[in-house]
Amino acid sequence: MQNRDEIAQALAACGYIADGELATALALMQMLRRPLLLEGEAGVGKTEVAKALACVHTAELIRLQCYEGLDQSAALYEWNYQRQLLAIEAHRGHADAIEDQIFSEKYLLERPLLAAIRRAQPPVLLIDEIDRADDEFEAFLLELLSDFQVSIPELGTINASTIPHVVLTSNGTRELSDALRRRCLYHYVDYPDVDREARIILAKVDGADASLALQIARMVESIRKEELRKMPGVAETLDWAAALVGLDVRDMHDAPDVVHETLMCLLKTHEDRARFKPEVTARLLGRVA
């Protein structure tokens, strides 16, 4: 098991700048072999945690994107009905003889959950935006996370070859059940502070220097304190940083017009963009040292 500092360093080597609490959560996740539930606003980097964890472990990342109406067949397995029908057609008149064959591994289509428990080496299983799935799917997921086994009527019970590293994310669009929360470790991913966001910019944006990265992080912090319909996430910060670097901005105070015009990288609704008149941008820029 890696300790908190070792995990933080390994994540940084993979391009993810984690705070101490997240590094501790990942250390406990490995020690206790429990799923980790990451909750927070959209755009704070929850999904990137799973990607970085896969990098740290040199493991496959298997992602299940949740949505309303997601059912077991889309998440667990399906039968390749087209191949089955072709096989039945080819053995017309001998359907009984081929019945066992068409319900075999050859005709099974793995979906993310089944794939995750059948890998020889433990993958990172990302169950993304679990709050978008229905209560019924969440109940089904509880059983899988408890036993790491699934039952396929035609094949029997399939036990996990290895236990995957499971990361669940939630944007808080609906309340998750107490049963799911009990089975997981929990960490709330907040927007990064100024120093950490500046480090993220330096790690992700080629050509950004420490001074400009700090200015951008401070400006974004001020913008997030405004009354916005949609807060800019870290991905928007990185887009803005890349735009400023690409436009050869070295000091934001020397290019206030460019700073204002490129706010389209951060502000993604008409209301928010209209609210930021040049004088508002100038006022916030004046706070940036």
> In sequence order, which residues have a C-beta less than 8 Å from that of residue 54 and are 6 or more positions away?
60, 61, 123, 124
Cβ atoms of 75 and 137 closer than 8 Å: yes
Tell me the backbone φ, ψ of residue 94, rounded to 5 degrees: -130, 40
Predicted TM-score (pTM) of this structure: 0.88
Q: Where are the domains of the chain?
A: 4-69+116-188, 77-110, 194-283
Cβ atoms of 36 and 166 closer than 8 Å: yes
Instruction: Say whether 205 sits in a helix, a strand or coil.
Output: coil
Q: Give the full edge-to-edge strand order of the sheet including 36-39.
A: 61-65, 124-128, 165-170, 36-39, 185-188
pLDDT values of the chain reduced to their tens digit, one per residue, 289 residues: 578 899 999 999 999 999 999 999 999 999 999 999 999 999 899 999 999 999 999 999 999 999 999 988 889 888 877 887 877 777 776 656 676 677 767 778 889 999 999 999 999 999 999 999 998 899 889 888 888 888 887 777 888 889 999 999 999 889 999 999 999 999 999 999 999 999 999 999 999 999 999 999 999 999 999 999 999 999 999 999 999 999 999 999 999 999 999 999 999 999 999 999 999 999 999 988 7
Q: Residue 196 carries which side chain, given as an amino acid letter?
A: R
Structure tokens at 33: 């072999």
Cβ atoms of 192 and 27 closer than 8 Å: no
Domain 4-69+116-188 belongs in CATH node 1.20.1250.20? no
Dihedral in degrees, nearest 10, Cα atoms 223, 229, 231, 232: -90
Cβ atoms of 61 and 51 closer than 8 Å: yes
